[in-house]
Amino acid sequence: MKYVSYLKNDAPAYGLIKEGGIINLSDKLPDAATLKDLIALNYAGVSQIADTAEPNVGLDEVVLLPPIPNAGAMWCAGINTHSHFAEAAERMGIKELPQYPMFFLRASNTLVGSGSPIEKPALEPKFDYEGEIAVIIGERCRNVSVEDAPQHIAGYSCFNDGSARQYQIRGFQVTTGKNAWHSAGFGPWLVTADEVSGEELVLQTRVNGEVRQNMSIDDLIFSFAHLISHISEVTWLEPGDVLVTGSAEGAGALRAPPTFLQDGDVVEVEVSGIGTLTNVVQEQQLAV
């Protein structure tokens, strides 16, 4: 199934994609106000709704939100592909593959859905893209093994980890550069884990139609299951939490010469079996 969160007439809602339209679940499931709530309830009746109900909202009537607009935690894996490690190692003074996953956290107010603009901070000359696969947690877990971790995945989505590189490299941590307001795209929807194999996903990132990144799952240093297991060693993972799992080689900062995003650029992150996340870059307008 494909779950989508959206605004219609400025009112938030969520539903199922079917036959090019949306079955509004917000009206049908009063105990689940958001998609995150529905995931936590693990409501089995959605399959019957999907089989019997007809779409009652058009995709052209809505503004897409991030699939999980209110994620409790968003864990983002850094340097988690072999290709990105190879291109970045010398510049960053790293000599060996990481022995353990490295993470930073993103705030939910940094996210926009597919079709909405991502914002380039006005004083940031090095705004960048990173296409990634997002994993959404379905079942609460702590100290889960690598073998059991896939059972706790609700589904997958596309993610653009928009990065303000100048702010990122000025400090000793990446937090500021990874948390610019509305800098990241997430969507267009969540595809449930029973519909796609997480071991076969392929990602492509395009800027203005030009292919910048290609990634297959075997490029990951730490698998989805390893990432889940590692985080669960230190804290509970909750339904609706999001893991952003790593970007391949080809981000603008490490191209020769470096190529950064400008106002009006179109960034697409496509993941096989899921769909395409599309966002236009918009320069932040400073108040006069």
Mean pLDDT score, 113-130: 97
Residue 42 is predicted with a pLDDT of 87
Amino acid identity, residue 242? Answer: V
- Please give the share of the chain, as a percent, with pLDDT higher than 70: 99
Tokens of 216: 């297959």
Is the distance from CB of 83 to CB of 53 less than 8 angstroms? no
The neighbouring-strand residues paired with 77 are 103
pLDDT classification of 288: cutoffs 50, 70, 90: low
Residue with tokens 């353990």: 100
Q: Which residues contact 151 (CB under 8 A, 6 or more apart)?
A: 139
Residue 109 is predicted with a pLDDT of 96
Range(s) within the chain of domains with CATH label 3.90.850.10: 74-283
Which helix (H) or strand (E) element contains residue 248? none
Residue 95 is predicted with a pLDDT of 79
Q: Which residue from 138, 203, 180 is spatially nearest to 281, judged by alpha carbons?
A: 180
Per-residue pLDDT reduced to its tens digit, 95-113: 789 899 999 999 999 999 9
What is d(CA 135, CA 49) in angstroms, rounded to the nearest whole number? 24
Residue 187 is predicted with a pLDDT of 98
Residue 89 is predicted with a pLDDT of 82
Strand pairing report for 118-120 and 275-283: parallel
Radius of gyration in angstroms for the set of CA atoms belonging to the chain, rounded to a whole number: 18
CATH superfamily entry for domain 74-283? Fumarylacetoacetase-like, C-terminal domain (3.90.850.10)
Q: What is the mean pLDDT of the chain?
A: 95
Instruction: Give first-to-last CA distance, the chain, whole Å.
Output: 47
Per-residue pLDDT reduced to its tens digit, 235-274: 999 999 999 999 999 999 999 999 999 999 999 999 999 9
Q: Which residues contact 162 (CB under 8 A, 6 or more apart)?
A: 110, 118, 127, 128, 129, 130, 180, 183, 184, 185, 261
Mean pLDDT score, 111-138: 97
Per-residue pLDDT reduced to its tens digit, 13-32: 999 999 999 999 999 998 99
Helices vs strands, H then E, count in the chain: 5, 19
**Cis omega (within 30 of 0) for bond into 55:** no
Is the distance from CB of 243 to CB of 135 less than 8 angstroms? yes
Per-residue pLDDT reduced to its tens digit, 31-51: 999 999 999 998 888 999 999
* Sign of the CA dihedral with 279 first, then 92, 258, and 125 last: positive
Per-residue pLDDT reduced to its tens digit, 185-198: 999 999 999 999 99
Q: Is the pLDDT of residue 94 over 60?
A: yes
| Helical residues (DSSP H) of 33-124, grouped into ranges | 35-41, 46-52, 82-92
Asked whether the whole model's pTM tops 0.75, one would answer yes
